Amino acid sequence: MPSKQNVERLIELVVSDQTVQAMQEFYADNASMQENNQPPRTGLPQLLEHEHQVLRKFKSIKAQTVEPFFIAGDHAVIHWIFDFTTHDNRRFRLDELAYQTWEGEKIVKEKFYYDPAPQWVGAE
């Protein structure tokens, strides 16, 4: 079961643009991530490589959460809002729920639920 402190620390890292560090600290070596109903990505090295690819695609990615987050047994749910800025300064927003399964203090499975159509919010 995840501790409240570790979920708060994970959120703190992501909000402060340290997503890779958050993944290294809180994701199990065999963790999987899944976007909506797409096939999951499995294994921490693959998850980190995918994250690096996403980070390279954008000029900036800013994260915030909508409080509260929820913990129930081995599961946590975080409501994220991500603002992406493309290299040509166009901006869009992604509003998602992350449903996490933890084993102890490591995430072993995470599924993201969001509308796949970008919500364009203008230029930076």
Q: Is residue 73 a contact partner of residue 1, using CB atoms and an 8 Å limit? A: yes
Query: CB under 8 Å to 82, separation ≥6 — which residues?
Result: 61, 62, 63, 93, 94, 96
Domain that holds residue 10: 4-123
Of all residues in the chain, the percent with pLDDT exceeding 90 is 92
pLDDT, tens only, 39-51: 999 999 999 999 9
Number of domains, the chain: 1
DSSP state of 36: T
pLDDT, tens only, 27-85: 999 999 999 999 999 999 999 999 999 999 999 999 999 999 999 999 999 999 999 99
Average pLDDT for residues 102-115, to the nearest whole number? 98
Domain CATH code at residue 69: 3.10.450.50
pLDDT recorded at residue 117: 86
- The pTM score is 0.93
